Amino acid sequence: MYYFEDTTKKVHKDDLILPSSAMLYDGLYLEKMITGYRTLAVTGREMLSLNIETQETQVGSIKLNQKLPARTIKVSYQLIGKDAKDVQKKYHQLMRLLYKESDVEIRFKDELDYHYYGQYMTTDDVRGDTNSIIASFEILCTDPKKYSVLLQTDSTITTYLPYPTTPEKIEVIIEKFGPLMISNGDKTIKITSYNLSAGDQVTFDFLKGKVFVNKLDQTFLLDLESDFENFTIQEGQTIGCSNGSMIISYREVQL
C-alpha cells in the first residue's frame, strides 16, 4: 500500500514568516489578516527633526523656542490578488483595518519592546487594473515619542529618561494610620487632611487623572496644593513615600 503526502501544503497565516519591519497595528499584523499583503519598507521611525525658532542677530542668532513636531511613519507594501477584482476586495479589508477614529498602539516586529500611538492618515493613488500593486500609506503620530513596555520600581529611577516623564500609576500599601506624601524632591503629592488606615491600597492613576483608595474613586482627598497633575519622574531621582510600600509604574520614553 502506498501513502501520498502533499508537499505543497498551504501555509497557515499564523505560520507566515513576517518581514522584520512588519507592523502590529492595533494588535494585528496586516500580513496575517490579508492574504497577499506584505510590508516592504518603513520610514519615519529614525531620528526626529526639531522645530527651532530663532531670531537673527548681528552675529548668528538667538534661539527663541524649540518644538517637537508630529511624526509621520510611511509604510511601503505589496498587495497581490488573483485578479484586479480580488485586489479591490483586499483594499476594502485593508481600509477596514486601518481606519480608526482615534490613535491606536503601533509596534514593529524588529522593535516589539517599544510602541507609538498614531492612526492611518493618507495613501498613494493606485492603479485599479492590475493584480499586483506596490504602494504606500502614512500614519500620523501626533505624539512623536515612542514608549517602552511597562517598567516598575519601588523608589529609584535608573532607566534612561531624557526628560521629565509622567508615570502611569503609583500604588501604595499604607503601613500605618495617618497621612500620605509622595515626593520627587521638587513636587509632592499630598493626602494630609485625611488619615489613611494600615492596609489601605492607594492608587494614583495618572492616565485617568484620579486617585483610588481600595478601588474607590477618592480623588477629593488630595490636598488642594498637591502636585498630582504635574508630578513627573526623571532618571536618577529617588521617589520618597512617607507611609507604606510603593510601586511606581512608568514607561521609558524615547524620540
Q: Render each residue's pLDDT in the chain as its tens digit; 255 residues.
A: 333 333 344 444 555 689 999 999 999 999 999 999 999 999 999 888 889 999 999 999 999 999 989 999 999 999 999 998 999 999 999 999 999 999 999 999 999 999 999 999 999 988 878 889 999 999 999 999 999 999 999 999 998 887 889 999 999 999 999 999 999 999 999 999 999 999 999 999 999 999 999 999 999 999 999 999 999 999 999 999 999 999 999 998 888
For the chain, the straight-line distance linking the first and the last C-alpha, in angstroms and rounded, comes to 65
**Domains in the chain, please, with CATH?**
23-144 (2.40.30.200), 149-254 (2.60.120.860)
pTM for the model? 0.75
Measured CA to CA, the distance from residue 112 to residue 109 in angstroms comes to 6
What confidence score (pLDDT) does residue 167 get? 95
